[in-house]
Structure 1
């Protein structure tokens, strides 16, 4: 008698390969198991402590988050915080890339800019926020902090990419008579794409975390940081958990969307990883 396989183990007509649904379930299983583990651990911690003020249960936090999500103010807060971080992130990527180009082409510019960028990268976010509060209005401070934290990351990574470009490829482009635009599009951008993806992925997470920290300290109107600080002041621990989960979920969603966009517009970035994956599965 042929055993009945569960849906996630069904085979596709192609020998040795699982169905698309089974493959998705197989990939999602570790993440679901990890999430379930931490939820159970969180529930146990809440039961052991026995005080919602210190460790609220997942059910209480979920109910609080659902209540917040049902208000227009919640979405307005998320939208404005996202707008601030996005503005700082985009400006930081542009400025960091420009700084990388300048410092790799001029020793004088490198000697002037590199120390300042390294100091900004090493400075604690809280100290930087407090110093910046002296000169920058609270409404613009989160975007500026996100910008300041992204620039050194993008500069360092893109400078490495520019220095590692193959001179033989550039020489070949000149031999074949490619102009500056064609050389940029066909040679420089494809070789810099992995460095740009790495810089932007790291910078996006850093921009979001540092921007929310700046909001907590400066407390601009209509911001996630202000909501977190108000919830802490009023001892509303479930709301603190709910807004923290919101910030984390937004950060993960932004990173995921960015990776999908990069895979769409920069297909050469995902090519090596995909080819390795095909090779690994071929041997199974």
Structure 2
């Protein structure tokens, strides 16, 4: 039943969209304007034979995941601090709202002026992920059942047990949704930062090179690689979050 459901919900729609993509590409009949899935697959195979392709994929993925980790730790940690210390929460509120609203391009340009393009994806991902995790964690903590906390205080339940049995179940849906959103935003913002900053041996640089040489097939190939990596990371992350809850 599960395999049947997977085929119906995933494989059939994907195959349908591939067919539509190929038909549109054939109708356009211009590889520069729109490369079809076959051209994209050929470009992906060609790229995969180059050592620089794999180093770019590995380098970008590690930088984005590092930025994601930093943003997650800071977001969750400062949200907890802001929840337990109201003055800290009031102090951080304007900063979080500003980080949530400022365009990624503005951060990228400022970082290029201040520090150059080195590790730009790490910093940008951390800046993008931080407000998402902060706001969701803070909201989850604020929704914790007050009566449960009072009971824990009356019976002098240890801090670890309070976290395990009161706070974590309350935070789980908030964190799950936030992490699922944040990992996708991390890849989007990280790749965008690389395209603007142009650090060598990165996916962003590969996308830019494909644009310069009008290699639309390679452009789609790089994009598909990003989608696949993001999808895999998201599934691993969701499995880890669900495992912690148990």
TM-score by length of 1: 0.82
Aligned residue runs from structure 1 range 124-143, under 5 A? 124-143=103-122
- Give the deviation of 1:63 after TM superposition: 1.0
Name 1:215's counterpart in structure 2. Answer: 194
Counterpart pick for 1:162 among 133, 141, 161: 141
Distance 1:167 1:159 in 2: 15
Aligned residue runs from structure 1 range 92-171, under 5 A? 92-171=71-150
Q: Secondary structure at the match of 2:200?
A: coil
- Give the deviation of 1:240 after TM superposition: 0.6
Quick one: higher RCO (CA 8 Å, sep 6+), 1 or 2?
2
- Give the deviation of 1:182 after TM superposition: 2.2
- Give the deviation of 1:75 after TM superposition: 1.7
Name 1:255's counterpart in structure 2. Answer: 234
Distance 2:2 2:176 in 1: 26
Distance 2:5 2:92 in 1: 48
Name 1:189's counterpart in structure 2. Answer: 168
Name 1:74's counterpart in structure 2. Answer: 53
- Give the deviation of 1:261 after TM superposition: 2.0
Q: Secondary structure at the match of 1:133?
A: helix
Name 2:29's counterpart in structure 1. Answer: 50
Counterpart pick for 1:35 among 11, 14, 20: 14
Q: Secondary structure at the match of 1:126?
A: helix
Distance 1:182 1:262 in 2: 18
2:70 counterpart of 1:91: yes
- Give the deviation of 1:188 after TM superposition: 1.7
Distance 1:102 1:174 in 2: 19
Distance 2:2 2:193 in 1: 41
Name 2:182's counterpart in structure 1. Answer: 203
- Give the deviation of 1:105 after TM superposition: 2.8
- Give the deviation of 1:131 after TM superposition: 1.7
Counterpart pick for 2:38 among 59, 64, 68: 59
Of 135-144 and 218-227, deviating more is 135-144
Distance 1:248 1:180 in 2: 40
Q: Which has more radius of gyration?
A: 1
- Give the deviation of 1:143 after TM superposition: 0.5
Q: Secondary structure at the match of 2:172?
A: helix
- Give the deviation of 1:228 after TM superposition: 0.3
Q: Secondary structure at the match of 2:115?
A: coil
Distance 2:87 2:241 in 1: 34
